[in-house]
């Protein structure tokens, strides 16, 4: 009886050990592959960059005269038209200068008249003396003296006339300075900056002091983006551009208008300014906003495309003779099989496949998961990574390996 009990216990222990061993060392491991269906669609290759929204044209309104600001007639966001008065500088000093120059002009003009009268009298005197000299009734030396007096008066008349011209120039200058006291808008637009206040004294030295900054017609704007030298070679004029700003969820559209040659180097990175023009519906876009742009440089319509993750799937437990770019697909037996591909353009999420066409409709492997732990390339999936577009079409196929 004791032997029977011993044999039963021995058999139970052996069975438990066999079960525990095979539980830890299974003969076959079930792998779950994450797949996506190869289908046709549109792939758009874009160059991404950031830029600043600016008016297409903006004018800085300044002053060329010194003085105290008496009145400001516009403020921030004021809509102005060309020629409208926007500010007034105290004109008292320039009015007095203009009056003084006008008085000097009148004095010089009177001097011209006086010299003219004296010259006319000298001409008559010279004529009479010349007749007397012909009759031998006047010495030649006296005639020469009269002629010299006439010529001297003629020269003085020219000097007086030059003084008049100089006075006219002074009057014109003082009138111009007086007119500069009234600041007018040179263009139609919107005031986007005001740099002075009423009562402030402005001083113009080597350059005009800035009073206002006026942007012309914000119904259209431009984006000045910085494109790295590695990408600028594929950008062309009139290429379509999409861009967004942080203030709105809308996507705005524009076109490339200019690729400027003024390169900028920051930390050994060379960039070129690219100007994008776009409509500003409702004038929602403000100068200074940061725009995230995408320049469309290539487009492939109705092409086979696969998720970019499929090209990164390189399992270490599978062997293949296929060289170069390849993807892994599930064959009819639901086993992974490598297929060589010829790649086209990519938008970062999907990549166009030029060959082979036989991939259409097949399930391409993106990664694998085992025991409910999803992995790609043998590493755990990051739960914070966003789901790529088209994730709703992906499914999971199970295969025994």
Write down which residue in 278, 299, 320 finishes a domain. 299
CATH no. for residue 312?
Answer: 2.40.420.20
Ramachandran angles phi, psi of 38, nearest 5°: -75, 120
Q: Is the same domain home to 337 and 374?
A: yes
Highest mean pLDDT (candidates 22-26, 188-192, 358-362): 188-192
Overall average pLDDT of the 378-383 stretch:
43
Confidence (pLDDT) at 17:
60
What would the pLDDT profile of 260-312 be if each residue is shown by its tens digit? 999 999 889 999 999 999 999 888 999 999 999 999 888 889 888 989 888 88
Strand 79-80 with 189-194, pairing: antiparallel
Helix, strand or coil, per DSSP, at residue 383: coil
- pTM, rounded to two decimals: 0.61
Domain end position, chosen among 284, 299, 314: 299
Whether 106 has a pLDDT exceeding 80, the answer reads yes
Residue environment code for 340-367, b if the CB has 16+ CB neighbours within 10 A, otherwise e? ebeebbbbeebbbbeeeeebeebbbbbb
Confidence of residue 1 (pLDDT cuts 50, 70, 90): low
Tell me the percentage of the chain whose pLDDT exceeds 70: 84
Per-residue pLDDT at 34: 85
pLDDT tier at 13, thresholds 50, 70, 90:
low
pLDDT for residue 394: 41
Average pLDDT over residues 37-46: 89
Q: Is residue 267 helix, strand or coil?
A: coil
> Residue range 21-32: average pLDDT?
51
32 and 120 both lie in a single domain: no
Q: Is residue 16 part of a domain?
A: no
Look at 99 and 320; give whichever has higher pLDDT: 99
Q: Are 295 and 259 in contact (CB under 8 A)?
A: no
Region 321-344: what's the mean pLDDT? 85
For tokens 């600041």, the residue is 183
Is residue 357 in some structural domain? yes
User: Domain residues for 393?
Assistant: 28-43+301-400
Q: Say how far apart CA 376 and CA 316 lie, in whole Å.
A: 11
| Least trusted range by pLDDT, from 47-51, 164-168, 288-292, 363-367 | 363-367
Query: Based on the domain organization, do 243 and 361 belong to the same domain?
Result: no
Whether residue 142 has a cis bond before it, omega within 30° of 0? no
pLDDT digits (tens, 9 = 90+) for 345-357: 888 889 998 888 8
- Specify the 3-state DSSP secondary structure of 357: helix
Mean pLDDT score, 174-192:
93
**pLDDT for the residue 382:** 46
- Residue 324: its H or E element: none
Dist. CA 260–CA 271, nearest whole Å? 10
pLDDT score at 196: 92
Same domain, 130 and 152: yes
């Amino acid at each position: 009886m004791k032997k029977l009990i011993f044999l039963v216990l021995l058999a139970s222990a052996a069975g438990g050990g066999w079960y525990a061993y095979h539980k830890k060392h299974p003969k076959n491991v079930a792998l779950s592959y994450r797949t996506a269906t190869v289908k046709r669609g549109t792939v758009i290759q874009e160059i991404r960059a950031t830029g600043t929204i600016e008016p297409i044209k903006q004018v800085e309104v300044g002053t060329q005269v010194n003085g105290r600001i008496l009145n400001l007639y516009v403020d921030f966001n004021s809509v102005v038209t060309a020629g409208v008065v926007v500010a007034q500088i105290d004109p008292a000093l320039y009015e007095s200068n203009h009056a003084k120059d006008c008085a000097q002009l009148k004095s010089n003009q009177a001097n011209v008249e006086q010299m003219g009268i004296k010259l006319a009298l000298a001409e008559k005197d010279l004529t009479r003396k010349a007749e007397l000299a012909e009759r031998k009734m006047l010495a030649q030396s006296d005639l020469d003296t009269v002629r010299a007096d006439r010529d001297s008066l003629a020269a003085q008349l020219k000097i007086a006339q030059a003084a008049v011209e100089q006075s006219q120039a002074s009057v014109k200058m003082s009138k111009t300075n007086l007119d500069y006291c009234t600041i007018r808008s040179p263009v139609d637009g919107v005031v986007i900056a005001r740099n002075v206040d009423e009562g402030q004294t402005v001083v113009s030295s080597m350059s005009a002091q800035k009073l206002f900054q006026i942007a012309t017609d914000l119904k259209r704007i431009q984006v000045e983006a910085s494109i790295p030298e590695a990408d600028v070679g594929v950008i062309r004029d009139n290429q379509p551009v999409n861009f967004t700003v942080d203030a709105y969820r809308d996507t705005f559209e524009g076109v490339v208008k200019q690729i400027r040659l003024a390169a900028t180097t920051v930390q050994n990175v060379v960039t070129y300014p690219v100007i994008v023009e776009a409509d500003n519906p409702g004038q929602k876009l403000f100068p200074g906003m940061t725009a995230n742009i995408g320049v469309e440089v290539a487009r492939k319509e109705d092409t086979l495309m696969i998720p970019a993750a499929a090209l990164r799937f390189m399992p270490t437990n599978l062997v293949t003779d296929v060289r170069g770019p390849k993807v892994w697909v599930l064959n009819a037996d639901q086993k992974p099989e490598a297929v060589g591909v010829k790649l086209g353009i990519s938008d970062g999420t999907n990549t166009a496949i030029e060959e082979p066409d036989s991939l259409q409709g097949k399930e391409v492997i993106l990664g694998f998961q085992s025991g409910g732990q999803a992995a790609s390339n043998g590493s755990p999936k990051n739960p914070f990574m966003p789901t790529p577009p088209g994730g709703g079409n992906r499914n999971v196929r199970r295969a025994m390996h």
